[in-house]
Amino acid sequence: MNLEQKRVAILGAGGSGYAAASLALSRGAEVSVYDSGDENRLAPAVERFRELGCLLTTGEAALSPDGEFDLAVISPGIDLASPISREFSRVSNELIGEVEFANRLSEVPVIAITGTNGKTTTTSLIAEMLQSTGLSVVAAGNIGLAYSEVVERGESLDWIVLEVSSFQLESISQFSPRISIWMNFAPDHMDRYANLDEYRSAKQNLFRNADANTTVIRKKEDDVWDGAAVTFSAFSEGGAFEYLDGMIRHLATGREFSFRDCRLHGKHNAENVMVALAVADELGLSWNAVANAIEGFRAPAHRCEKVRELEGVIFINDSKSTNLHSLQSALAGQEASTVLIVGGKQKGLDFSEVRPLLSDKVRHAVCLGEIGESIADTWHGTVPATVVASMDEAVRLAFSEADEGDVVLFSPGTSSFDMYPGYEARGDDFRRAVEALDGSEE
């Protein structure tokens, strides 16, 4: 794609917008940036873009662009149905997303990963695994580092491992990863989508341009692709990869990989390892060659992260659990009796959906936060539930209720904004409270 002297509009003044603007400028484009957000809030961004070399127009003025554009690049946080999107669709020859934009300017093959949960862990795992074999690999996309920034750097890379959200996949047209991975699917982002089918359809754009050269790896239970695929599941039989008693098994060859030797915890993380092994197979890498990297991989902070083992009790920090599916996934993945710390902001979620898992998995529920009492009431008669007022109280009580061999799982199932500025701060507080235990609480 030749951008020399082309007029390019960047929609959105956040990180992906900034990276896209910088990439477009580096390729000789005339770049203007638009964000219809509050002018005062965006004042620092105006200066930042000025230093980059382009004008950021904010507020209502952003809805009245000056002239027409060869291309508009929309940031994933902006709904395609929003006024600014509709306006720039009208005045631009083409409107595409930042992922599509970066991909058109790159020749590096892509491994793309989507799913409701597990994307970040799997993206990081695959990138580290490939790097351990000497390949030059970068993880980017929804994981934090913008795809456009990677492309602008111009490094000589073997692969880009790209975490892609439904928001990013809404606005692609030619994007065609060499390996496309579907982790799982469950209701989420219903504030963005009219219904579940619309959300699912956005994610299925991952396969929009798949052809005979595309390797598709998908969760066995999710029928999202009609063509040939490598399937996996730790929760049912019949996939190419299965799980039993701590061992991952490749059905066709009988090869086995010991998940017990991994630092990752829970059957849902066993699925992440299955995907990494499937990628290794596709690239012709032996399991022996990647075993050390997989076994030594630590989950990203706040994503079923093992914090500590004290007196035979394992403490797991899953503060990133901000929806019911992530809570259900974390619970279903536990193979030991579990004391669950749950709760946070009241955002209208129906925690009765979790009840079928409680009898088999949970010894005691410790309910925290704005929604704590509601969860305890909802689960009454299914599992013992106690409402607490603080993280310290929650951790101490959970430890006192746990027996040797049990897991204390902190998986809130909702957002953190009742007590914390974000899930990171919430997870850090859980970690602090766990580290403060000395074993005398039992």
User: ∠ at Cα 150 (145, 152), nearest 5°?
Assistant: 130
Mean pLDDT to the nearest integer, 361-372: 97
pLDDT in tens, 26-67: 999 999 999 999 999 999 999 999 999 999 999 999 999 989
Edge-to-edge, what's the strand order for the sheet holding 137-141?
137-141, 159-163, 110-114, 179-182, 215-219, 230-232, 241-244, 247-250, 256-258
Mean pLDDT to the nearest integer, 263-267: 90
pLDDT the model gives residue 196: 84
Residues 283 and 276: their CA atoms lie apart, in Å, by 11
Strands 247-250 vs 256-258: parallel, antiparallel or unpaired = antiparallel
pLDDT the model gives residue 375: 98
Token pair, residue 401, equals 């209720």
pLDDT the model gives residue 188: 65
Instruction: Please report the DSSP string for 402-414 in residue order.
Output: --TT-EEEE--SS
pLDDT the model gives residue 276: 98
194 burial type by CB count under 10 A (0-12 exposed, 13-18 middle, 19+ buried):
exposed
pLDDT bin (cut points 50, 70, 90) of residue 193 is confident
pLDDT the model gives residue 400: 97
Token pair, residue 188, equals 């989420």
**SS3 sequence of 205-247:** HHHCCCCCCCEEEEECCCCCCCCCCEEECCCCCCCCEEEECCE
Mean pLDDT, the chain, integer: 95
pLDDT in tens, 133-144: 999 999 999 998
Residues 340 and 379: their CA atoms lie apart, in Å, by 12
Mean pLDDT to the nearest integer, 5-11: 98
More confident of the two residues 326 and 216: 216
More confident of the two residues 114 and 441: 114
Token pair, residue 414, equals 């909702």
| Percent with pLDDT over 70 in the chain | 98
Mean pLDDT to the nearest integer, 121-131: 97
Question: Contact at 8 Å (CB) between 295 and 261?
Answer: yes
pLDDT bin (cut points 50, 70, 90) of residue 190 is low
- What's phi and psi for 196, nearest 5 deg? -65, -35
Residues 416 and 299: their CA atoms lie apart, in Å, by 20
Predicted confidence (pLDDT) at residue 356 exceeds the cutoff of 50? yes
pLDDT in tens, 324-334: 988 998 998 89
Q: Which residues lie closer than 8 Å to 148 by C-beta, 6 or more apart? A: 16, 19, 20, 22, 23, 98, 101, 102
Residues 101 and 74: their CA atoms lie apart, in Å, by 9
Q: State the chain's maximal CA–CA distance in angstroms.
A: 70
pLDDT in tens, 222-236: 999 989 999 999 999
Question: Contact at 8 Å (CB) between 322 and 416?
Answer: yes
According to DSSP, residue 261 is labeled G
**Among 122, 134, 131, CA closest to 274:** 122
Residues 442 and 435: their CA atoms lie apart, in Å, by 15
pLDDT bin (cut points 50, 70, 90) of residue 442 is very low
Mean pLDDT to the nearest integer, 339-361: 94
Instruction: Please report the DSSP string for 8-25 in residue order.
Output: EEEE--SHHHHHHHHHHH
First CA to last CA distance, the chain: 65
Residues 93 and 87: their CA atoms lie apart, in Å, by 12
User: ∠ at Cα 321 (217, 425), nearest 5°?
Assistant: 130
Predicted confidence (pLDDT) at residue 365 exceeds the cutoff of 60? yes
Token pair, residue 87, equals 């306006």
In the chain, the domains with their CATH numbers are: 7-101 (3.40.50.720), 106-296 (3.40.1190.10), 305-435 (3.90.190.20)
pLDDT the model gives residue 187: 65
pLDDT the model gives residue 278: 98
pLDDT the model gives residue 161: 98
Mean pLDDT to the nearest integer, 410-417: 96
Residues 76 and 73: their CA atoms lie apart, in Å, by 10
